[in-house]
Amino acid sequence: MMNYQNEPHGVFFLIDNKSFYASVEAVARGWNPLKISLVVMSEASNTNGGLVLATSPEAKKRYHLQANVSRAREVPQDPQLAVVPPRMNLYIKRNLQINDIFRRFVANEDLMPYSIDESILDLTHSWQLFGKSPRDVAVRIQKTVRRELGLYTTVGIGDNPVQAKLALDLYAKHDTDLIGEIHYSTVPEKIWPVNHLTDVWGIAHRTADHLNRLGIHNMYELAHVDPYELKGEMGLMGQQLYAMAWGIDRSQLNKRRGPKNASLGNSQVLPRDYVKQKEIETVIKEVGEQVASRLRHHHKQAGCVSLGIGFSYAASEADGRGGFHQEMRIAPTDQNGEIVAALIRLFRNNWDGQTVRNVAVYTSRLCASTGLQLNFFEPAQAQIKRAKTDHVVDAIRDRFGFTRLVYASSLQKGGTAIERASLVGGHNGGNAYE
């Protein structure tokens, strides 16, 4: 038996929103998010007829639409099924409101937004203020969000973050109260019976295959391998997987601030195959300029630029690879010209005439640029306040990648910027103020 005595014991919640985009759209129309059949479908020109971004629980049940990301062609034509366009800006606004509610229950430093619809709350020091048990507090948070925003939230509770995450994914989503709990004392009954390794956070197809090859097919078997052998076979990943099978998580959330290697970039699937060098370079330039302007907006400079080029299917087959991805160190900069020059160099050094369908530009090794520049024409307080507000939105958008703040424009043939200017994360931004 594992001795958990020296493991960190706390009260952690992982809270997410049930079918977030679909629920926000349902509420905006005055419908109950759990009862209405609704899908949110992006119809950006490169989605090949439409991409389903979110499906309400009822629609999943009635039309057997399981995967969240599916294609328009899989969506039945039925007047009972509402099909609505996305409004990314509205979802960002709701996310901020939900986190504001969470801050009534935890100090700011004990709240960690994890994605557009998930947050981690460390209630170790505050839960007793709000209920007789952590579960009580979870119910109270759920009721508050439901009452004020109309949205249903799902809560995973654990003694540490990974237990909370597994409780959310494995149990809360299927529980009538939308609450799941895992504790050190319940690891054998809650984690080990998991038979599909890919149900577990952090294990996808490749890792599951790898584990299968080692004779590990479920969480019980993972928990009972020799951890040293697993480490030898899979390195750090093996250690982490073994720890997870025992519900162990030594990450100190409040002690780590920000990611180790921040990066920022944009990518897009082109609406058609691009053949001409000039046209491809026009897109690279546009995307590069978007990324550069985002850097400036965030007061960051990049010390590394990377270019990813995906070939068309035909070109991939002929070439034997799907494309290429190259990066390059540069002197830290946020200037269009320097970033685009590096990208074009990467492109010309690696491109050999292949037809292109996908362009990705990323920057990394980000470092702080200048501080806030105050102008002379406005009261300083107002400027600082605005900068702070921007910063909050930035932090959210940065973290979740829903930024498309500066709208490059181009009349060059092949350009996609104009068409994409109003998109957020490649999808319709809509209006935040419904």
Partner DNA sequence: TCTGGGGTCCTAGGACCC
Contacts with DNA by CB under 7 A lie at 44, 46-48, 51, 53, 67, 69-71, 114-118, 169, 200-208, 235-237, 259-269, 294, 304, 306, 310-313, 316, 324-329, 357-358, 360, 362, 364, 398, 401-404, 425-427
153 vs 146: CA distance, rounded Å: 8
For residue 421, the tally of other CB atoms under 10 A from its CB is 15
Residue at token pair 């300083």: 380
For residues 27 and 54, which CB has a smaller minimum distance to DNA in the complex?
Answer: 54
Query: What is the nearest approach in angstroms of DNA to the Cβ of residue 67?
Result: 6
Smallest gap, in angstroms, from Cβ of residue 311 to DNA? 7
Considering the complex, state which of residue 133 and residue 254 has its C-beta at the smaller distance from DNA: 254
> Which two tokens mark 188?
């054998």
CA–CA distance, 284 with 292 (Å, rounded to integer): 12
Identity of the residue numbered 368: A
Closer residue to DNA in complex, CB, 127/294: 294
Element (H, E) at 153: strand 153-158
Nearer to DNA, 114 or 220 (CB): 114
In the chain, the N- to C-terminal Cα span, in Å, equals: 55
CB of 430 to DNA, least distance (A): 15
Does residue 330 contact residue 303 with C-beta atoms inside 8 Å?
yes
Choose, from 118, 181, 286, 338, the residue flagged as catalytic. Answer: 118
Nearer to DNA, 237 or 383 (CB): 237
Least Å distance, CB 389 to DNA, is: 19
The answer to whether residue 118 is catalytic is yes
Closest CA to 24 of 32, 16, 14: 32
Dist. CA 58–CA 64, nearest whole Å: 9
Q: Residue 93 CB, nearest distance to DNA (Å)?
A: 17
Dihedral angle sign, alpha carbons of residues 210, 213, 217, 222:
negative
Catalytic residues: 118
